[in-house]
Amino acid sequence: MRMTDQTLELDCDKPTPTFSQRLAAGLAPLASLFRVFRNRIEINALHDLNDTQLRDIGLTRADLTSAFLASTFFEDPSEHLTRSARNRWRLSLFRSYQE
């Protein structure tokens, strides 16, 4: 036999995931859903703060309302609040440099 006629089959497939890996992959969407609902509850608790306390963390009442309106039921509204607070902080920095 020639060397070019011989083929070598290598088993290069991905290894089969273990039970714990499959379980973790199966529970990941459930954990994500739990995190979304927990964040929604925490954002609802922010409604109990007064305007000064909200301003201290970089938010307004309008941000809280728009976070719920901008996100669907299964989306995390905390991402919207984080963006709002960061944008307000950047804007305040920009204004402080102009003065």
CA distances from 49 to 8, 64, 66, 82, 97 (A): 69, 11, 17, 17, 30
Tens of pLDDT along 11-52? 666 778 899 999 999 999 999 999 999 999 999 899 999 999
pTM: 0.63
Tens of pLDDT along 45-54? 999 999 999 9
- Average pLDDT over the chain, rounded to an integer: 85
Predicted local distance difference test score (pLDDT) of residue 27: 93
With beta carbons less than 8 A apart as the criterion, state whether 64 and 43 touch.
Answer: yes
